[in-house]
Amino acid sequence: MAMQWIVVWGLVAVAASALAAVLAGFKNRDYSYWMAWSFIIPPLVIWLLFTPKNKGPRPRQPRLDDLDRRENGPL
């Protein structure tokens, strides 16, 4: 019985993550952030559904190279 609940939770988490990616794309939000949090806490998809759409460009996470250049300066 416990294995069935684990499988169900896993399927719900993967489905919520995929849905969050689609919704975040439509709402012009950072999809990797919303995918990760919706995988951990699937009900966050409902929160994303009610958030307003961002105006302007979609926010992006800085690349690791950009972060490294900021901290250590150019080579």
Look up residue 56 and give its DSSP letter.
S
Spans of all domains in the chain = 2-72
Look up residue 58 and give its DSSP letter.
P
**What is the rounded average pLDDT of the residues 44-59?**
88
Q: What is the pTM of this model?
A: 0.75
What does residue 53 show for φ and ψ, rounded to 5 degrees? -75, 140
Per-residue pLDDT reduced to its tens digit, 26-35 = 999 988 899 9
Mean pLDDT estimate for the chain: 87
CB 24 within 8 A of CB 30: yes
Please count the other Cβ atoms lying within 10 Å of the Cβ belonging to residue 34: 25
Between 4 and 61, name the one with better pLDDT: 4
Q: Which residue has the tokens 């990760």?
A: 36
The three-class DSSP label of residue 4 is helix
**What is the rounded average pLDDT of the residues 20-25?**
94
